[in-house]
Amino acid sequence: MADNITHNDSYSPVEIAKKVEQYGVTKANLPFAKMAMLAVMAGTFVSMGGMFYMTVTADWKGGFGTMQLLGGLCFTLGLFLCVVAGAELFTGNNLLSIAAANKKITIAQLLRNWTIVWTFNFVGSLIMVAFLYYTEQYAQGGGVVGARALYVGASKAALAPGTIFVKGIIANFMVCLASWMAYAGRTLVDKFFGMLLPIAAFVAGGYEHSIANMFFIPYAMVIKGHAAIAPMPGVPVEKLHYLTPGYLAQNLIFSTAGNLVGGAILVGLAYWFIYFKADEAAAAKKGKAVA
């Protein structure tokens, strides 16, 4: 009985840290083609979570908090697909900082992974934008889905750089904690419920996830001015001029920088210090005391 309980229990924080390090080495050594294709998949997965979020929260008649909670729960689909189906997501891969800090991978390998994965996450997001535009998903509900998409995309594009940066820190702090919790699970149910609340919390709080924004802002850009959406209530007419490549680039630059701080430093390097560096220092101190 005791053995069964132990087997079905979650991994300990120390075990999670070691798993994250091992996965980091594996991810850093993927061949280019495999890494790129897995990154495209991640971009489409996160975009599917974004589509789910926009569709469910479109023309919501209830309270704001309830809408944000429901939208956050729907958005969890993206990370769940990445973790279970297998994909390379830039924000989650910020945890490769642990393997780099332990010198299991080089800084060059780290930057190669982040660059390739970020780039092809963007490709996957744009593919999904094209699919949803072609299928006129924005016209659902008589255009309410498109109105919601414009509100989300334009509101993100209109944010000031400093705000985007800080919101990016919080977003990936939560996303990497969600990934960390997923690593703790031994079953699909464990992984799903482990990541559910951190993802729902960052979405409900309105924070900035660079890969999600690769979908939200371009989608709003391609549907703005569409006849089926323009007259709909909820369209932020005063913010539509922010839907340009320049403001998209600004958002992605600052949200990516914030995501790196929140994920690679506040989660990755923080847990590296706690579970590797601090233990190493304690062991060295103990060894000197014995000598």
Residue 196 or residue 284, greater confidence? 196
Question: Concatenated DSSP letters for 66-135?
Answer: HHHHHHHHHHHHHHHHIIIII---HHHHGGGHHHHHTTSS-HHHHHHHHHHHHHHHHHHHHHHHHHHHHT
Q: Is the pLDDT of residue 289 over 70?
A: no
Question: In angstroms, rounded to a whole number, what is the distance separating the alpha carbons of residues 189 and 201?
Answer: 19
| pLDDT > 70: percent of the chain | 90
Q: How do the domains of the chain map onto residue ranges?
A: 11-277
Q: Is the pLDDT of residue 288 over 60?
A: no
164 contacts 254 by C-beta, under 8 angstroms: yes
Minimum mean pLDDT range among 25-39, 41-55, 87-101, 131-145: 131-145
pLDDT tens digit sequence for 208-234: 999 999 999 999 999 987 756 655 666
Asked if CATH classification 1.20.1080.10 holds for the domain at 11-277, the reply, yes or no, is yes
Q: How far is CA 192 from CA 21, 60, 87, 93, in A?
A: 21, 26, 16, 18
Question: In angstroms, rounded to a whole number, what is the distance separating the alpha carbons of residues 230 and 142?
Answer: 11
The pLDDT value given to residue 97:
97
Entry pTM: 0.91
- Read off the DSSP letter of residue 242: G
pLDDT tens digit sequence for 152-170: 999 999 999 999 999 999 9
Tokens encoding 225: 């001015």
